[in-house]
Structure 1
Amino acid sequence: MASRNESASRAPADHADRAASRIEVTGLGKRFLTPKGEVFTALRDVTFTVEPGRFCAVVGPTGCGKSTTLSMVSGLDRPSEGSVKVGGREVSGITGGISFMFQTDALLPWKTVAGNVELGPLFRGVGKRQARTLARDWLRRVGLAGFEDHHPHQLSGGMRKRVAMAAALINEPRILLMDEPFGALDVQTKAIMQTELLGLWEQLRPSVLFITHDLDEAVALADRVVVMTSGPGTVKAVYEVDLPRPRGAVQDLRYEPHFLETQHRIWESLREEVQRAYALTAGADA
């Protein structure tokens, strides 16, 4: 396997049409009807861009519409107003060339590890033998060689996340959407998975839109952090993260002075929204 430095240096050449992975969210709004028939505004005038091959994290308090935004980029949902464009084309259905990694594993329990990972190539029309070869290669990349014939229930939580990551990346997507993929893991396993994600991302360089509640995670992984307000969600601020790439182990990165400075600067903006959202829910519960 190529080194991370080699992979990063050749990545732009591997993806000639990088403009196809540009994500543009403009004036995005989303409204729902509540069970009482009232209109609830989840998102209002959300605007940001993910440049080709860049890693963008979105942070904000619970209920600010982060996951709703992600669903509209993927084409699983449609906006009430505004637009989402991928590669310059407005999203009007399921967006091609995208992989989605959810908070839950989303693995088929009756299939083996290899059987889950090879589904993507099979759906694209790749032959069974080639798909199985690709699946085994990706399982090796995520450190699961020897576990191909296990079933999901026979794996730890971290191992299942590795399977999910292999399944998301095996098609070499131009865009990777991730909705709190490591949120349920313990701190140590989470740091390992974050480091592994960075290494794999350096090899493929898809555009990434990453939803998280964890500001440390956002700063460690991303090139850009979008801070959203408490509901209705809108973009409060966008911060560039200028930590050099390729980045080392996440658990070490968090002790570097520049990381701490960046994290503190973004937290000053995010903290107000977290406190506001908490006050609103506490008032509703009272």
Structure 2
Amino acid sequence: MSTAPHLFSTPLATLRPAIDLKNVTKRFTTPDGSTYTAIRDMTLQVAPGEFCAIVGPTGCGKSTSLTLISGLERPSAGSVSVHGEPVKGITPGVGFMFQTDAVLPWKSVLDNVAMGPKFRGIDKANAIASAKDWIRRVGLAGFEDRFPHQLSGGMRKRVALAQSLINEPEILLMDEPFSALDVQTRAIMSNELLGLWDVTKPAVVFVTHDLEEAIALADKVVVMTAGPGGTVKETFAIDLPRPRVVQEIRFDKRFVDLYQQIWESLRSEVDTAYSQSTQTTGKAS
């Protein structure tokens, strides 16, 4: 299938990729001893400072692509490179924000955010100073001594953002980080993310099921085919102006046009995944 009308073509595309997946396949052994192919022949490039969102139906391999980039998993075939170097273990300079909060419940907000610099060998005084600065940046000044159970869901996500960005990663991987939040808080967090991303400009790979969220945030949106053996189907350039306000950009005519184009590509994959799930359910019953 030709994707030429939608390919990313801004100056970012001329830079050496920050992330480069070439013909990557990842297989897992299931509990019954069979083999499951999560992704097959996947090729994806993300330029330095580029915000890439990945959408696709459940089970298409979106999260698997993040674990391969981070070095938490190794490909069964193909190659994964970060800044031109093959990924052979845990990738340095990468931040990973998961669906669930990665905060330690027995530590305060300040101690949670300061952990990263301390683990990197920064002395305590500078780690604390940096943590206080990032807590302020994410809008939690005054909450430094609170514990996670004393925070709302949105506030915990702010802590997670500060944890991820305090180390100024060159690459930020995000696996549906706002999916558990209510609609209003999700939009606020999306705006916070864009503002903070603009400060240090890491390359971002943002996995989501929400197409509107993907378009509002990203420089490009990658549509994956239904699994098993998901792969890149089409890539769409998001030529909306920055800076963006997530709650407002959705009313832009170009946003609506992009949504219609991308949904046309995504809809058939969602239908395929749903059909597979109902067939499986039928066989199991």
**TM-score under structure 1 length normalisation:** 0.92
Which residue does 2:199 correspond to in 1?
Answer: 203
- What are structure 1's unaligned runs of at least 5 residues? 1-11, 13-17
SS of the equivalent of 1:167 reads: helix
Q: State the shift of 1:93 in Å.
A: 0.3
1:90 aligned to which of 86, 93, 96: 86
Number of aligned residues:
268
Partners of 2:191 and 2:139 in 1: CA distance = 13
Partners of 1:196 and 1:264 in 2: CA distance = 26
SS of the equivalent of 1:202 reads: helix
The yes-or-no answer on 1:72 pairing with 2:68 is yes
Amino acid at match of 2:121: G
Partners of 1:244 and 1:161 in 2: CA distance = 26
Amino acid at match of 2:234: A
Amino acid at match of 1:241: I
Partners of 1:25 and 1:204 in 2: CA distance = 23
SS of the equivalent of 2:248 reads: helix
SS of the equivalent of 1:96 reads: coil
Which residue does 1:3 correspond to in 2?
Answer: none
1:58 aligned to which of 46, 51, 54: 54
Which residue does 1:4 correspond to in 2?
Answer: none
The yes-or-no answer on 1:233 pairing with 2:230 is yes
Partners of 1:244 and 1:274 in 2: CA distance = 29
Which residue does 1:165 correspond to in 2?
Answer: 161
The yes-or-no answer on 1:212 pairing with 2:178 is no
The yes-or-no answer on 1:243 pairing with 2:213 is no
Map 1:44-193; keep pairs closer than 5 Å.
44-193=40-189
Partners of 1:197 and 1:141 in 2: CA distance = 11
SS of the equivalent of 2:33 reads: coil
SS of the equivalent of 1:137 reads: helix
Amino acid at match of 2:43: T
Q: State the shift of 1:127 in Å.
A: 0.7
SS of the equivalent of 1:56 reads: strand
Identity of aligned residues (%): 61
Q: State the shift of 1:88 in Å.
A: 0.4
Partners of 2:39 and 2:181 in 1: CA distance = 28
- What are structure 2's unaligned runs of at least 5 residues? 1-11
Which residue does 1:30 correspond to in 2?
Answer: 26
Q: State the shift of 1:246 in Å.
A: 1.7
**TM-score under structure 2 length normalisation:** 0.92
Partners of 1:108 and 1:282 in 2: CA distance = 39
* Structure 1 runs, 4 residues or longer, greater than 3 Å off: none
RMSD: 1.2
Q: State the shift of 1:117 in Å.
A: 0.3
Task: Encode CA deviations 1:146-191: one digit per residue, 9 max, x unaligned.
Answer: 0000000000000000000000000111110101000110000000
SS of the equivalent of 2:235 reads: strand
